[in-house]
Each structure stands twice: as structure tokens, then as C-alpha cells.
Amino acid sequence: MPKYMLIMRGTDESNAAMMASIEEGIARTRLFIEEMMKAGVLLGAEGLDDPGQGVVVDFSGETPVVTDGPYGETKELFGGFFLLEVASKQEAVEWAKRVPAAPGSKIEVRRVPEEDEVPQDSTVQR
């Protein structure tokens, strides 16, 4: 069965709205996770810490440059994910519509390719 990742993407505004009612958001997310577990579709889920606590490693030059967060030029930030095993893209979309996201957030739905779909280098030892 195919796997899909529901990627939570937020803006500064949607993240602020979420933080304003964090306890309610956590409770709603826990209920959503329980629903997915009962349905047998949840493989994993993780949220990320405040972007100000992270760093960016930029490979646009000859050597990598490390910059402390937050990332002022970013319009949307990856906030976490749900990894589902469902029968179809449409089923993944239906779950995405139910994510308890803050207004202004987006949920990106992407299929995770199976190992046999990823080109393999026959010279690599396994």
C-alpha cells in the first residue's frame, strides 16, 4: 500500500495563531492522531521546534555556510509531518483535510516512493 506524507506548512501568522491557543491545538492534534491510529493508517508523526532554534546550512557557495534561525526570507516553514499508509492519494487528501491546522496553514500531500521506484546505483555495496 502506498505511503503519503502530510507536510504541515505554516506562516508566521498561522504559527502565531496556533501558539495563541496551543493547549487546544495539542488536544485536537492528539485526537486526530488517535483517529488515524484507530483507522490503522498512521506510520509516524513529528512536529518541529521553533524555527528560531534551528540553523540553515546553505550549499549555494563553494563551502557550506551555517546561519542561525529564524529564517527571515522564508514565507512558509515546515512544521512537522504525518506519515500515512493509505490505499490512494485521494484517501491521503481526505485525511489532510481533517488535520487540525491553524487558519492560514497549508498541508502538502506527497507520496513516498517505494524502494524499487528509486534508481539504484549498481556499484554501491549494500
pLDDT tens by residue, 14-39: 777 776 777 888 899 999 999 999 99
pTM: 0.80
CATH number of 3-114: 3.30.70.1060
- Per-domain residue ranges for the chain? 3-114
d(CA 98, CA 61): 41
d(CA 10, CA 76): 5
Question: What percent of the chain has pLDDT above 70?
Answer: 89
The C-alpha angle 48, 69, 45, rounded to 5 degrees, equals: 10
Least confident of 2-11, 54-63, 71-80, 94-103: 71-80
The residue ranking higher by pLDDT, 83 or 55, is 83
